[in-house]
């Protein structure tokens, strides 16, 4: 049985408990208790969350855990010395130490991220890099594994991190089964972007959303304004005006962003050639795809794919 110590502190963010559910469901799928989870804190007892309720915890002691996960805080605050000592000790005694979201700041304070690659919630990434220049922050990653240290983006990315642990421990079939029972996609690749073109567009009406859905399902097609307007049941002029008003982008730019996002995901999966990806995503040829990637990321597709392989 693998023991997991999940560390909380005053005003911890409760979304981190979603990762605990992954291990709970993994036990159900495996039909045995593979994982046991203990909630830990500096002094033990009740610890109040940022949502206002409290949870019962055990105090740090000499117990050794296979995996230690540092919870995220609602705000970035200095860590207690006892917490930092616990992290440093765990680096010597545990198989892996993980920190979703702002938990990376705790690892950085403890010095265990020096010389390592790490990620965190995109909103705090620049702050993490500025405060701790000895680590390499990759702000657009879902999660990163650097030796025994695992870090992830914020909120639901903790689920991806926990699913990756289950996959490493019990295999991909168990991880996929856990994901299905949680009603989530099988874990996103660690190198996948934290950002989504559809989320950034945020249309306000069903008609514009319908046009975007149509575009994403038909990226190999030309996707003219007339095509998108038909999907939205609007005239081309009405559609163009409404689309820009709701999304802040032209239809052509939005379609390019969707193509770039889809192409990037295919590159991170690593199974298709650049020519096939360009064709599948509607860029037609590699040169058009290269120019679009330079506009979006300032990097050519080859660099994006290489970085994903390094992350993997």
Mean pLDDT of 254-276: 86
Question: Both 154 and 228 in a single domain?
Answer: no
pLDDT digits (tens, 9 = 90+) for 291-300: 998 888 788 8
Pair (149, 290) in one structural domain: no
Is residue 240's pLDDT more than 70?
A: yes
Least reliable range by pLDDT among 93-107, 185-199, 242-256: 185-199
Residue 22 CA to residue 176 CA, distance in Å, equals 11
Burial of 26 (0-12, 13-18, 19+ CB in 10 A): buried
8 φ/ψ angles, rounded to the nearest 5 degrees: -125, 165
If one compares 72 and 198, the residue with the highest pLDDT of the two is 72
8-state DSSP, 60 = P
Evaluate whether residue 83 is within a structural domain: yes
- Which residue is it, tokens 């695992």? 150
Task: Indicate whether 27 and 169 sit together in one domain.
Answer: yes
CA distances to 72, 127, 143, 157, 232 from 76, in Å: 9, 10, 20, 18, 44
* Whether residue 173 sits in one domain with residue 26: yes
Mean pLDDT computed over every residue of the chain: 88
Average pLDDT (119-130) is 90
Give yes or no for a contact between 242 and 207, defined as CB atoms under 8 angstroms apart. Answer: yes
Instruction: Indicate whether 8 and 110 sit together in one domain.
Output: yes
Span 8-17, average pLDDT: 91
**How far is Cα 271 from Cα 207, in angstroms, rounded to an integer?**
35
Position 236 pLDDT exceeds 70: yes
pLDDT at position 234 is 94
Tell me what the mean pLDDT of segment 65-74 comes to: 93
Residue 237: inside a domain, yes or no?
yes
* pLDDT score recorded for residue 188: 53
Task: Name the CA dihedral angle for 83, 150, 103, 19, rounded to a multiple of 10 degrees.
Answer: -100
Confidence of residue 172 (pLDDT cuts 50, 70, 90): confident
* Residue at a domain's end among 181, 207, 222: 181
pLDDT at 98: 97
CATH number of domain containing 166: 3.40.50.880
Euclidean distance between the first and final Cα of the chain, in Å?
27
Under 8 Å CB-to-CB from 261, ≥6 apart: which residues?
A: 193, 196, 197
Average pLDDT on 104-110 reads 96
Supply the range of the domain harboring residue 220: 197-311
- The answer to whether position 231 is within a domain reads yes
Which structure tokens are listed for 166?
């289950």
* Residue 31 CB coordination number (10 Å): 7
Average pLDDT over residues 22-49: 95
Residues 212 and 66 in one domain: no
DSSP code for 194: S
Instruction: Give 148 or 217, the one with higher predicted confidence.
Output: 148
CATH number, domain of 289, equals 1.10.10.60
Higher local confidence (pLDDT), 241 or 311: 241
Average of pLDDT values for 163-170? 93
**Is residue 188 situated within a structural domain?**
no
Establish if 189 belongs to a structural domain. Answer: no
Q: Say if residue 204 is in the same domain as residue 172.
A: no
Quote the number of domains for the chain.
2
The confidence score (pLDDT) of residue 194 equals 53
| pLDDT value at residue 5 | 97
pLDDT tens column, 131-142? 999 999 987 788
Do residue 148 and residue 267 come from a single domain? no
Output phi, psi for 72, to 5 deg: -95, 150
Q: Which of 56-70, 101-115, 172-186, 237-251 has the lowest mean pLDDT?
A: 172-186
Under a CB-based contact definition with an 8 Å cutoff, are residues 26 and 172 in contact? no
Q: Indicate if the alpha-carbon torsion angle 95, 99, 103, 104 is positive or negative.
A: positive
Instruction: Specify whether 136 is located in the same domain as 175.
Output: yes
Please give the pLDDT value at position 62: 83
CA angle 60, 63, 64 (to 5 degrees): 115
Q: Are residues 142 and 25 in the same domain?
A: yes
Query: Which neighbouring-strand residues pair with 49?
Result: 12
Closest C-alpha to 150, from 4, 286, 1: 4
pLDDT over 90 percentage in the chain: 60
Q: Which residue has the higher pLDDT, 82 or 299?
A: 82
Consecutive H or E run containing 2: strand 2-7
Over residues 192-225, the pLDDT tens digits come to: 455 555 556 667 788 888 898 899 889 999 899 9
Alpha carbon distance 183, 167 (integer Å): 17
Do 107 and 17 lie in one domain? The reply is yes
Q: What local confidence, expressed as pLDDT, does residue 265 receive? A: 80
Give the residue-averaged pLDDT of 75-93. 93
**Residue labelled with tokens 């679009």:** 292
Of 181, 209, 224, the last residue of a domain is: 181
**Quick check: is 47 in a domain?**
yes
């Amino acid at each position: 049985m693998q023991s997991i110590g999940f560390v909380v502190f005053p005003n911890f963010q409760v979304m981190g408990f979603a990762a605990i559910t992954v291990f709970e469901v993994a036990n159900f799928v495996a039909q045995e208790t593979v994982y046991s989870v203990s909630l830990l804190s500096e002094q033990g007892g009740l610890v109040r969350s940022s949502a206002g309720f409290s949870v019962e915890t055990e105090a740090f002691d000499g117990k050794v855990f296979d995996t230690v996960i540092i919870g995220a805080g609602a705000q970035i605050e200095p860590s207690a010395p006892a917490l930092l000592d616990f992290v440093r000790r765990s680096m010597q005694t545990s198989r892996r130490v993980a920190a979703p979201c702002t938990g990376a700041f705790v690892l950085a304070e403890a010095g265990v991220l020096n010389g390592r690659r790490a990620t965190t919630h995109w909103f705090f990434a620049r702050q993490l890099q500025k405060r701790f220049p000895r680590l390499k922050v990759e702000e657009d990653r879902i999660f990163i594994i650097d030796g025994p240290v695992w870090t992830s983006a914020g909120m639901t990315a903790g689920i991806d991190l926990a699913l990756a642990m289950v996959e490493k421990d019990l295999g991909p079939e168990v991880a996929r089964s856990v994901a299905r029972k949680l009603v989530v996609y099988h874990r996103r690749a660690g190198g996948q972007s934290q950002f989504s073109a559809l989320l950034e567009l945020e249309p306000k009406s069903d008609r514009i959303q319908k046009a975007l859905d149509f575009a994403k399902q038909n990226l190999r097609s030309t996707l003219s304004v007339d095509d998108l307007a038909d999907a939205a049941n609007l005239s081309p002029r009405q559609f163009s005006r409404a689309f820009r008003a709701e999304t802040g982008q032209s239809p052509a730019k939005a379609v390019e962003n969707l193509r770039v996002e889809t192409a990037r995901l295919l590159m991170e999966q690593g199974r298709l050639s650049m020519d096939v990806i360009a064709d599948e995503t509607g860029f037609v040829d590699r040169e058009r795809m290269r120019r679009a990637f330079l506009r979006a990321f300032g990097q050519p597709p080859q660099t994006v794919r290489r970085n994903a392989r390094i992350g993997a």
